[in-house]
Amino acid sequence: MDKKDFILASGSPQRIALLRQVVFEPKQITPADICEDCLEHEKPLPYVRRMALEKAKHVAALFPNENVLACDTIVTIGQRILHKAKNSEEQRGYMKLLSGRAHKVISSVCLINKSGKISQRTVITKIAMKVLTAQEIEEYLQSGEWKGVCGYKIEGRLAAYVTRMVGSYSGVVGLPLNETINLLKGEGIR
């Protein structure tokens, strides 16, 4: 697989796998180690857009004159952001919140090109989940799939509980491929 002319500002295995799935191999992977705390009164959409932009800017500052691709993905219920659970008790609470409810997954992708031009696209996916039994929640917790991800992994066991999805499946996994490919191709990266 040819290396493409961009640096991925993420160490997410899901994002790397999605890019490889469509034959876009970054020439380098440099995760953006930045603070991901919400600003006071910050709503989900501005938050996810800011995070993708700040990650891209952080890595672009390390590698001037390079194309840098960054992304951020969050799960939201109303205006509440479900961040990465710190422990199984917090994840259990998230699962109870998601059970039988519709929620959104927002994924924002940002590309800073070699001359510093910023391009950004954001995708909102609506998901409905069945009512989860206590046993299903416990089985999901025991699987450990939720560790290190925001809310849950759609590509794992949880897929069996989704009753409806409108939007971008790859965006829910962590990188909206259509928008990402269009950004990269817009810079001549093919």
**Residue 72 a catalytic site member:** yes
From the candidates 2, 33, 37, 72, which is the catalytic residue? Answer: 72
In eight-state DSSP terms, residue 149 is S
Contact 165, 126 (CB under 8 A): yes
DSSP 66-133: S-EEEEEEEEEETTEEE-B-SSHHHHHHHHHHHTT-EEEEEEEEEEE-TT--EEEEEEEEEEEEPPPP
Active site residues: 72
